[in-house]
């Protein structure tokens, strides 16, 4: 028998979530964070290799922010498809040649902050601290209020 969490005498309640699809996993992570912050308790989200390596399209939320190390340059196929219909914070508020990766090339930008057009990008900055093999990047975003139609 397999147990996700051992139960001990005096244990506090725990929340365990087991999403069944990629879309369910996406929204479960949002819910898990809200539960953890609201109740100050651990939330465990279970997954397996088939879910972690699967591909499944689902509608993007109306106000999405997508950040990450995409291991690809701005003129790549992946960049255009990942950031399709989204704003690139560096292109909006950055300047010059940006470098987010410390190795290989002095001008290699492979880390990105994308957001939906419903956001105003107020600022973009690369922090010049070597905390890993990537420089940290940050952006100030403002979500414009949605006007009812």
Query: In this predicted model, which residue has the larger pLDDT, 69 or 148?
Result: 69
- What pLDDT is stored for residue 142 in this prediction? 94
Task: Return the number of other C-beta atoms located less than 10 Å from residue 110's C-beta.
Answer: 20
85-140 pLDDT per residue, tens: 899 999 999 877 777 877 776 668 888 999 999 899 999 998 888 888 888 999 99
- What pLDDT is stored for residue 141 in this prediction? 94
What is the share, in percent, of the chain residues with pLDDT greater than 70?
87
Task: Return the number of other C-beta atoms located less than 10 Å from residue 118's C-beta.
Answer: 15
Distance CA 36, CA 31 (A): 9
Which SS3 state, helix, strand or coil, does residue 41 take? Answer: coil
Which residue is associated with the tokens 């939906």?
A: 116
Query: In this predicted model, which residue has the larger pLDDT, 147 or 79?
Result: 79
Report the mean per-residue pLDDT for the chain: 82
30-39 pLDDT per residue, tens: 898 888 888 8
44-92 pLDDT per residue, tens: 888 887 877 778 887 777 788 888 888 888 888 888 888 888 999 999 9
Distance CA 75, CA 80 (A): 7
- What pLDDT is stored for residue 148 in this prediction? 58
- What pLDDT is stored for residue 1 in this prediction? 43
- What pLDDT is stored for residue 139 in this prediction? 95
- What pLDDT is stored for residue 135 in this prediction? 85
């Amino acid at each position: 028998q397999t147990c996700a969490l051992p139960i001990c005498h005096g244990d506090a309640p725990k929340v365990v979530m087991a999403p069944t699809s990629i879309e369910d996993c996406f929204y479960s992570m949002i819910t898990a964070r809200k539960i953890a912050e609201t109740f100050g308790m651990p939330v465990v989200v279970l997954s397996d290799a088939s879910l972690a390596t699967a591909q499944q399209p689902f509608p993007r939320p109306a106000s999405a922010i997508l950040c990450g190390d995409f291991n690809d340059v701005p003129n790549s196929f992946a960049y255009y498809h990942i950031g399709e219909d989204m704003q690139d914070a560096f292109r909006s508020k950055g300047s010059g040649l940006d470098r987010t990766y410390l190795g290989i090339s002095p001008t290699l930008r492979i880390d990105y902050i994308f957001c939906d057009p419903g956001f105003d990008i107020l600022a973009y900055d690369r922090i010049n601290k070597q905390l890993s093999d990537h420089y940290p990047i940050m952006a100030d975003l403002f979500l414009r209020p949605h006007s009812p139609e």
